[in-house]
Amino acid sequence: MSLSIGLLLLTANTVLKVHGYSNGRVQSSCDSMIPEHGFAPQASTAPYTVSASNTSYNAGDEITVTVAGNLGNNFKGFLLEARATPEGDQPLGTFRIIDPNTQALDCSGTKTAVSHTTSDRKQQVKAVWIAPQQNVGAIEFRVTVLHDMQSFWINVQTTINSSIPVTPSDGSTAPTTTAQADSVHISADQCGTTKFCFINPPECNPELPNCYFMSVAKGNNRDYKFEISGSSNGYISIGLSDDKFMGNDDVYICVLGSSGKVNLVHAYTTGRTTPISRSLEAIINITTVYENGIIKCAFTSRNITTDRTYYILYAHGPASNGYIQKHQSDPYISQVKVDISAPTLALGGTRSKVVIKVHGALMLIAWMCIGSMGMIIARYFKRAWKGKRFQKKDLWFQIHRSLMMLTVGVTIIAFVLSFVHVQGLSSNASPHPFIGSVVMGLTLLQPTIAVMRPPPSERRRFIFNWVHRITALLTKVLAVATIFLGIQLITQSNGLIGHIMGGCVAWEAIFYIIMEIIQCCTRNELQETEDQKVTFF
């Protein structure tokens, strides 16, 4: 089978590949706690819970942790760890196995995580967590639960506190309760004079509906006083980000609970998934209220890093029983990075997806249509159109060259559009832009190689032929993989668009197989004809 088919099939296999870990040996996911299945986590509220036998612990205590499905929901696999809040990047303590359906894993330590042993359906599993010998503050039991290969939830969690109070680094104590007020007055007065403000639409009144507002006033030392308000019957939230995209952001969420009370949640986002809750120990003077359809929160944070600028992301959306859901509209985003300690006024607009959609459409046209046609012409029509010429050159070559140069042009336009839109490449970006940059480089390299090709009669012409083919196929493979990654960024999962794209790749692979068979048979027939001519004469 030709190199074309092999690499094209490798593309489909690489992009749609699924890593199965039915035995639960998922050490590769210890840090991220995200399965390597090739699918995105569910954005809905998890139909599972994790609970602890105690609400606090002392050093060396044993706590029974239970992972269970709600309302009859079962699951195939899970990964459970205990981490400190808010900076829980490593598992803490150890686990003792008491359930035959579970096993201990070594994640940055011995027996620091628990997972399944088989992919059999389970309704509930238990394990015993043994607290470390030193006080590490509040502990968050965090679990990823897998219903099947494509449906799983991350950041299902519960928190227990240390019986020994944890003191902030400045020596003061910080209350973590939220005070419900009869009224919280939030005003745009003094914006740009004594406090930083972010507002949408411009000049709206935060005391009235359909106004989304936040302000920050610098206090003493590390204190930053926040005020947030907005129309919502679910939640409002602000994120402090290094770029204009969700991921690796410090987030404050004011969420309306089922009792009608508003709670403040401090969280951290790891991507386009449910934010991970963090401790409120460095948050003081919290007051909230829900009145006339407007959620209002006021609090003082000591978590802000000084001498830094941020993009402000403001999102609002629905909530269910105090659990936030995916926001249905694009967040409001500051036009530039801002210094929240400086008294200024920033306006928030939505990040339009039109440019990104145009970028994606152009890449699809370039690599799933024009580029594919150009490669097919070169591969299968060179012999079929033998002797046919246009402008003193072979017809197949003229069409092939025109199609591939058009592919280069469309790719350049799509590449420039995306980079101008996002204002450069962020170090925290997904693999999509990095692989896309490689594709752009190979796309420019290919015509450069073609310009320097030797004459057909040159003895070393075969070297150019192979380099040209391999570079083209490598570019095609990476381009298709990048398109899949782009689809996942937009839709948060492969979904219908991903399946359609997969079908297109599969169809192209089948087409190549059929054409190779036809070409092989034709070649054999021509050889038999030549043999018969030799015998006749």
Which residue has tokens 């299968």? 380
Average pLDDT over residues 207-236: 90
The fraction of the chain above a pLDDT of 70, given in percent, is 83
pLDDT at 370 exceeding the cut of 60 = yes
pLDDT at 103 exceeding the cut of 60 = yes
Question: What tens digit of pLDDT does each residue of 107-158 get?
Answer: 888 899 999 999 899 999 999 999 887 666 778 899 999 988 888 989 888 8
pLDDT at 378 exceeding the cut of 80 = yes
**Which pair of structure tokens corresponds to residue 84?**
């400190």
pLDDT of residue 237: 93
pLDDT of residue 419: 80
pLDDT at 175 exceeding the cut of 50 = no
Asked if residue 487 lies in contact with residue 494, where contact means CB atoms within 8 angstroms, the answer is yes
Angle of CA points 138, 142, 145, to nearest 5°: 165
Angle between the N-to-C axes of helices 354-365 and 461-491, in degrees from 0 to 180, rounded to the nearest 10: 150
Stronger pLDDT, 458 or 225, i.e. the higher one: 225
Q: pTM of the prediction?
A: 0.46
Give me the sign of the Cα torsion angle 292, 345, 228, 329: positive
- Nearest partner of 142 among 268, 318, 19, 324, judged by Cα: 268
pLDDT confidence band for 17 (50 / 70 / 90) = very low
Instruction: Report the DSSP pairing between strands 62-69 and 124-130.
Output: antiparallel
Average pLDDT over residues 208-226: 89
Residue 297 CB neighbour total at 10 angstroms: 28
pLDDT at 71 exceeding the cut of 80 = no
Average pLDDT over residues 420-443: 78
pLDDT of residue 362: 93
Domains and CATH numbers, the chain: 27-162 (2.60.40.4060), 195-350 (2.60.40.1210), 353-536 (1.20.120.1770)
pLDDT confidence band for 341 (50 / 70 / 90) = confident
pLDDT at 482 exceeding the cut of 80 = yes
